[in-house]
Every structure is written in structure tokens, then in C-alpha cells.
């Protein structure tokens, strides 16, 4: 299933939520309509939360079905909410926007090459997958330029063949399609929330972009 939505008029919905196969963490102030759209498109339960007193949950959290990496700036009450659903590790690196710096599914993770060794070990342990440093289209914030599920990856149009080979090798997916979202935005992740069952896209996304996303994430069923 695929739907269009916005977060309080903002089409960059992926900034304000993060999802895996079972649930999603959503900005605490999200309206019911936005929450309902996520639940229906992805078939998940939504939990409202802030991270570091911020609503940009999707930028500050990376997760798969095994666990979550959360910005080291998160408060203990916020972490209690997240820990109630999944194991958590804090990213105390200076690059603490976990969602922007980690591209992950249930098979592997590609991480900003500037993340330090201690943080890499934390990430690998929490997510329970092999973690590899890399860039996509020469961009170090790999989590911001792609959206990965266990079925495929939507990647920015400037990705090289070497980038695509890296994604295939680490994330163990064959479906990788270059596209923009939200009417030409090359940073894919802010424009979509997705898992293996469905996707919610920013409401500026064109039908052509939706078609490419559908192909990338293998949502034809």
C-alpha cells in the first residue's frame, strides 16, 4: 500500500517518524490523521515520542527489527518510551543524528564513514547486523539519501554503480531504483516512511516518483 501525506503541511514526513516492520515512533505532536496514515500504510502501531525534546524523530533515530540507535542527546524519559518497544543504544558520537547517518534494514547497515570506532561497535551490537562505512553519491549522511526496507532500496539519482553494488552487498537486496521524491528532491529519506508492507510518501511526490518508489520497494503485491 502507498499513500500520500504531510506532517502539519510539511511533505518531509520521514524527518518526523521512523518505522520498522512492527511499529513506528512518531513526533509527539503529530495529529491523529498523520498517525492513522502511517498505521494504515505500513501496518504498524505508532508510538508518539520526542528525542532531545525535538520532534525530528526520523532524523535522530535509526532502527530495524532488532533494535534502535538513538541520538545521545535523548533524555531518560524519552528513552524509557523507546525501550518499552525495542532495545536501544545511544549514539554519543558528534554525528549523533542517527537517522541521517545510518542506512539500515534487517540485513545490514551502511554508516557515515566519519563515525568513530566505538560508535560503530555500539551500532553493530544494537542493530544486530553487519555495519560497513560508506558514502552514497559522495554524501556521508547515507541515511538521508536512501530509504531501505527488507525488500528494496530507493536511492538518490546521483548514486554510482559502485554505490549500488555496496547497497546490494551490505543490505542484501536486489531491488534498487534511483528516484527523487517530493517533486524532485534528491534526498529520498525525508520524503518517505516505509517497510516491507507499504509506504507513506510526502504529498508533493509525483505519480512518476511514486511508480519508481513502488518498484524500488517491491510494493506491487
Kindly state whether residue 221 falls inside one of the protein's structural domains.
Answer: no
Do the Cβ atoms of 26 and 69 come closer than 8 Å?
A: no
Quote the strand ranges of 6-129, DSSP E: 17-19, 23-27, 45-49, 61-63, 68-71, 88-91, 102-104, 108-111
Q: What is the pLDDT of residue 203?
A: 97
Kindly state whether residue 8 falls inside one of the protein's structural domains.
Answer: yes
Q: Report d(CA 12, CA 188) in Å as an integer.
A: 9
- The total of other beta-carbon atoms located within 10 Å of residue 197's CB is 17
Return the DSSP state at 8: T
- The total of other beta-carbon atoms located within 10 Å of residue 136's CB is 26
How many distinct structural domains can be found in the chain?
A: 1
Q: For 140-181, how does the pLDDT look when each residue is reduced to its tens digit (9 = 90+)?
A: 999 999 999 999 999 999 999 999 999 999 999 999 999 999
- Average pLDDT over the chain, rounded to whole? 97
Do the Cβ atoms of 12 and 187 come closer than 8 Å?
A: no
43: pLDDT strictly greater than 70: yes
Q: Report d(CA 95, CA 35) in Å as an integer.
A: 28
Kindly state whether residue 38 falls inside one of the protein's structural domains.
Answer: yes
Return the DSSP state at 73: T
Kindly state whether residue 215 falls inside one of the protein's structural domains.
Answer: no
Q: What is the pLDDT of residue 105?
A: 98
Q: Report d(CA 111, CA 160) in Å as an integer.
A: 17
Kindly state whether residue 212 falls inside one of the protein's structural domains.
Answer: no
Determine the distance from the C-alpha atom of residue 219 to the mean position of all C-alpha atoms in its chain, rounded to a whole number.
Answer: 17
CA distances from 143 to 167, 189, 199 (A): 12, 7, 17
pLDDT bracket for residue 221 (50, 70, 90):
low
216: CB partners within 8 A, 6+ apart: 152, 153, 154, 155, 175, 176, 177, 179
In sequence order, the β-bridge partners of residue 157 are: none
Q: For 9-24, how does the pLDDT look when each residue is reduced to its tens digit (9 = 90+)?
A: 999 999 999 999 999 9
What does the block give as the cell for 134? 560508506
Kindly state whether residue 210 falls inside one of the protein's structural domains.
Answer: no
Q: For 85-109, how does the pLDDT look when each residue is reduced to its tens digit (9 = 90+)?
A: 999 999 998 899 999 999 999 999 9
In sequence order, the β-bridge partners of residue 23 are: 45
pTM: 0.97
Whole domain around residue 156: which residue ranges?
A: 2-202
Kindly state whether residue 22 falls inside one of the protein's structural domains.
Answer: yes
Q: For 182-214, how does the pLDDT look when each residue is reduced to its tens digit (9 = 90+)?
A: 999 999 999 999 999 999 999 999 999 999 999
Average pLDDT over residues 37-51: 98
What does the block give as the cell for 99? 537517522
Phi, psi values for residue 79, rounded to 5° = -65, -30
209: CB partners within 8 A, 6+ apart: 179, 180, 181, 182, 183, 201
Q: What is the pLDDT of residue 152?
A: 98
Kindly state whether residue 117 falls inside one of the protein's structural domains.
Answer: yes
Residue 42 sits in a domain of what CATH number? 3.75.10.10
Q: What is the pLDDT of residue 220?
A: 79
Q: For 57-81, how does the pLDDT look when each residue is reduced to its tens digit (9 = 90+)?
A: 999 999 999 999 999 999 999 999 9
Give percent of the chain with pLDDT exceeding 90: 98
Q: For 104-137, how does the pLDDT look when each residue is reduced to its tens digit (9 = 90+)?
A: 999 999 999 999 999 999 999 999 999 999 999 9
Amino acid at each position: 500500500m502507498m499513500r500520500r501525506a504531510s506532517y502539519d503541511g510539511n511533505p518531509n514526513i520521514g524527518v518526523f517518524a521512523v518505522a520498522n516492520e512492527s511499529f513506528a515512533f512518531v513526533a509527539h505532536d503529530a495529529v491523529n490523521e498523520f498517525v492513522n496514515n502511517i498505521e494504515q500504510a505500513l501496518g504498524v502501531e505508532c508510538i508518539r515520542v520526542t528525542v532531545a525534546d525535538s520532534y525530528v524523530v526520523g532524523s535522530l533515530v535509526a532502527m530495524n527489527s532488532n533494535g534502535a540507535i538513538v541520538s545521545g542527546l535523548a533524555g531518560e524519559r524519552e528513552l524509557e518510551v523507546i525501550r518499552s518497544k525495542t532495545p536501544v543504544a545511544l549514539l554519543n558520537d558528534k554525528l549523533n543524528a542517527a537517522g541521517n547517518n545510518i542506512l539500515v534494514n534487517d540485513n545490514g547497515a551502511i554508516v557515515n564513514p566519519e563515525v568513530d570506532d566505538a560508535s560503530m561497535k555500539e551500532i553493530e551490537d544494537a542493530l544486530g547486523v553487519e555495519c560497513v562505512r560508506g558514502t552514497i553519491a559522495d554524501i556521508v549522511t547515507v541515511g538521508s539519501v536512501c530509504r531501505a526496507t527488507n525488500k528494496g532500496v530507493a536511492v538518490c539519482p546521483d548514486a554510482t554503480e559502485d554505490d549500488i553494488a555496496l547497497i546490494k552487498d551490505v543490505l542484501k537486496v536486489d531491488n534498487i531504483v534511483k528516484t527523487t521524491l517530493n517533486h524532485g528532491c534528491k534526498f529520498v529519506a525525508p520524503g518517505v516512511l516505509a517497510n516491507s508492507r507499504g509506504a507513506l510518501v510526502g504529498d508533493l511526490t509525483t505519480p512518476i516518483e511514486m511508480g519508481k518508489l513502488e518498484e524500488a520497494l517491491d510494493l506491487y503485491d
